[in-house]
Amino acid sequence: MKVEEERMKNERETEGVFEPKIVGFLCYWCSYTAADLAGVSRMKYPPNLRVMRVMCSSRVDPVFIIKALLDGADGVLVAGCHPGDCHYQKGNYYARRKIALTKRLLESLGLEPERVRLSWIAASEGPRFAEVAKEFTERIRQLGPNPAKGALFL
């Protein structure tokens, strides 16, 4: 994050604007490369996404998502190769099932499935990565802070 952006963010926070913290699991082969491309192309997107690189979107165990949410992350983004493009042939199909399961679980428990997002971002789609980051940050900003953040007995 650039120094200037950091300064602006801190300013907004002191002004009482809610700055979401979003955990992003990006697949090594596509989405992480797209983030890299967005970076070297100097595209602008909100600095709220904390990126974690995984070798495949299917590596993201639903437990990781729940862990992030219970520990106070305001949103979780999982991004991988488009269906059919997985480096490991079918990893992203499994990932899709895991996300579907996680979202349904959150829904059944009366939590907020909107805080979890699955997106397919190819390595060449730098602009799309920036767009997804922007959109998702905006959505989470609208949702407000994760209520789990203050809970002591989780």
Partner 1 sequence: MAKVVEIPEGLEAFLISLLEKGIVSGLVVLKYLEESSKASYALVPAGGDTEGLAPLFPFMPANAGKVLSRLTLEGPFPNPIAVVVRPCEFRAFVELVKLEQGHMENLLIIGLECGGVYPLGKMVKENVGDFIGAYYEALKKGEIVPDIRPVCQGCDLFQPVGADIVVSVVGRGVPQLAFLTEKGLDAAEKLGLELKEGEVFAPLSQALLEARRERKGQIAEEIKGEVKGIEGLERVFGKCIGCHCCSHVCPICYCKDCFFESATFDYEPISYTERLERKGTLRVPMDTVLFHLGRMTHMATSCVGCGMCEDACPVGIPVSQIFKFIGSDLQELFGYVPGRSLQEELPLTTYRLEEFSEVEE
Residues 120-149 close enough to bind partner 1 by CB under 8 A: 120, 132, 147-149
User: What is the total count of residues that contact partner 1 (CB under 8 A)?
Assistant: 40
Residues 22-61 close enough to bind partner 1 by CB under 8 A: 61
Q: Which of 1, 3, 40, 63 binds partner 1 (CB under 8 A)?
A: 63
State the minimum distance, in angstroms, from the CB of residue 153 to partner 1.
5
Q: Which residue has the tokens 């300013």?
A: 11
94 interacts with partner 1 by CB under 8 A: yes
State the minimum distance, in angstroms, from the CB of residue 70 to partner 1.
6
117 interacts with partner 1 by CB under 8 A: yes
**DSSP, residue by residue, the chain:** --HHHHHHHHHHHHTT-----EEEEEETTTHHHHHHHHHHTT----TTEEEEEES-GGG--HHHHHHHHHTT-SEEEEEEPPTT--TTSSHHHHHHHHHHHHHHHHHHTTS-GGGEEEEE--TT-HHHHHHHHHHHHHHHHHH-S-GGGG-S--
Q: Which of 9, 52, 62, 87 binds partner 1 (CB under 8 A)?
A: 62
Q: Which of 83, 124, 138, 142 binds partner 1 (CB under 8 A)?
A: 83
98 interacts with partner 1 by CB under 8 A: yes
Q: What is d(CA 134, CA 45) in angstroms, rounded to the nearest whole number?
A: 6
| Chain contacts with partner 1 (rule: CB under 8 A) | 61-63, 66-67, 70-72, 83, 90, 93-94, 96-105, 107-111, 117-120, 132, 147-154
